[in-house]
């Protein structure tokens, strides 16, 4: 009996993808993969009959195709043996080629990048199920974000015209972790008001950027924690280490090792206010203030670089542990983005959304802000 599409959880799919990584496509027939079989049945529109290995492989190929290209997609293709000619490769050979996509050693890839590749592919699998499942009303795997329309997400980045604050902005949406975005001058990290970055092992935007920008040894050890070090230096110059900054404050640092991806600056937006119980709070007003500060800082730094800064990429500020709903965060951000672009239309604005289900919510919300067609 095939499981219902909502019975397969993200941890189950992650675990089974780990088995596929180890055994490759040639091992699909021998593996027990109930979650992937359930997802394959939904994806193919099949019934409760036997799920063939080819159905699982087709699901994985389609899921990997939604990862947006670049190093993440290439690494996923080699990780699971989907790349041309890699079907029967041994696991260690596939890992080596996947590591080459990120230009890191195999040990560093195993400890960090490979986990991200598997998790991103698992979320892509769930997203594909949502586009096929009848009338879904919730994301499986414990996600609480609302499910938007069942329209599939576009492959790769998509640029959308958005009418906001009396102007038309063009925003490029990436369904990928922000640390994988390439060729954008400024990446934005969400921080707490103490400007203390997340630990490098956390799956937060702050932790991921901190890890990606750090100078690491071949084994993955951190030799220079670039962003945390420069943030501390910023606090020494402009604030007071150990005391909070005003909500909405933005601090600029270098991009560390992310310069290899064409990134030149990291902006740290203090939007999360710590609570005594260990949680965080924020408000749309704080998010709007932070985005205004981001554009002000970018304008102040713009001509200090050759060529001048012209592009920036933001996550959904405050929509993580700080608790804002994605649409509320986006609305607060668009208010400031529209005002900034009305004065400085040369900025190329991007947004990076890690989770496909949230990206779909954002895509639909941006579509609702399309400029009116005259006539």
Q: What is the pLDDT of residues 178-200, one digit of tens each?
A: 988 999 999 999 999 999 999 88
140: nearest Cα among 154, 121, 152, 125:
125
More confident residue, 119 or 137: 119
User: Could you give the CA distance from residue 254 to residue 333 in angstroms, rounded to a whole number?
Assistant: 23
N residues, the chain: 375
Q: What is the pLDDT of residue 142?
A: 38
Say if residue 149's pLDDT is above 70: no
Same domain, 214 and 294: yes
Q: Which domain holds residue 25?
A: 10-132
User: Could you give the CA distance from residue 19 to residue 22 in angstroms, rounded to a whole number?
Assistant: 5
Arithmetic mean of pLDDT, 238-253: 92
- The three-state secondary structure class of 11 is helix
pLDDT-based confidence at residue 2 (cuts at 50, 70, 90): very low
156: nearest Cα among 315, 346, 292, 350:
350
Same domain, 166 and 18: no
Same domain, 170 and 88: no
User: How many domains does the chain divide into?
Assistant: 2
Same domain, 90 and 184: no
Same domain, 216 and 301: yes
Same domain, 173 and 309: yes
User: Could you give the CA distance from residue 39 to residue 55 in angstroms, rounded to a whole number?
Assistant: 10
Same domain, 86 and 182: no
User: Could you give the CA distance from residue 166 to residue 316 in angstroms, rounded to a whole number?
Assistant: 22
DSSP E strand boundaries for the chain: 158-164, 167-174, 186-192, 215-216, 222-224, 250-253, 265-274, 280-281, 311-314, 348-352
Same domain, 294 and 346: yes
Say if residue 155's pLDDT is above 60: no
């Amino acid at each position: 009996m095939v499981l219902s599409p909502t019975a397969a959880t993200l941890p189950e799919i992650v675990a089974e993808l780990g088995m596929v990584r180890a055994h490759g496509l040639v091992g699909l027939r021998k593996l027990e993969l109930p979650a992937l079989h359930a997802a394959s049945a939904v994806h193919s529109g099949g019934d409760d009959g036997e799920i063939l290995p080819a159905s699982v492989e087709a699901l994985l190929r389609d899921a990997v195709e939604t990862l947006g290209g670049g190093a993440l997609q290439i690494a996923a293709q080699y990780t699971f043996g989907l790349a041309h000619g890699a079907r029967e490769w041994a696991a260690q050979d596939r890992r080596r080629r996947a590591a080459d996509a990120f230009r890191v050693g195999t040990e560093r890839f195993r400890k960090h990048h490979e986990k991200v590749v598997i998790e991103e592919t698992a979320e892509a699998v769930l997203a594909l199920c949502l586009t096929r499942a009848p009338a879904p009303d919730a994301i499986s795997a414990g996600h609480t974000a609302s499910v938007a329309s069942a329209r599939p997400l576009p492959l790769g980045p998509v640029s959308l015209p958005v009418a906001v604050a009396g102007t038309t902005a063009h925003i490029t949406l990436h369904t990928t972790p922000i640390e994988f975005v390439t060729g954008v001058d400024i990446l934005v990290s969400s921080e707490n008001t103490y400007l203390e970055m997340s630990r490098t092992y956390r799956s937060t935007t702050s932790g991921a950027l901190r890890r990606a920008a750090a100078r690491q040894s071949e084994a993955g050890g951190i030799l220079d924690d670039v962003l945390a070090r420069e943030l501390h230096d910023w606090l020494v110059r402009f604030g007071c280490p150990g005391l909070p900054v005003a909500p909405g404050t933005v601090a600029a640092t270098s991009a560390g090792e992310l310069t290899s991806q064409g990134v030149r600056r990291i902006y740290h937006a203090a939007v999360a206010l710590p609570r005594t119980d260990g949680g965080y709070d924020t408000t749309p007003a704080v998010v709007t203030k932070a985005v205004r500060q981001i554009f002000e800082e970018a304008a102040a730094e713009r001509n200090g670089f050759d060529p001048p800064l012209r592009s920036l990429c933001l996550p959904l500020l405050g929509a993580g542990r700080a608790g804002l709903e994605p649409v509320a965060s986006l609305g607060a951000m668009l208010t400031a983005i529209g005002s900034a672009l009305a004065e400085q239309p040369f900025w190329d604005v991007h947004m990076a959304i890690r989770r496909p289900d949230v990206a779909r919510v954002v895509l639909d919300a941006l579509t609702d802000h399309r400029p009116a067609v005259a006539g």
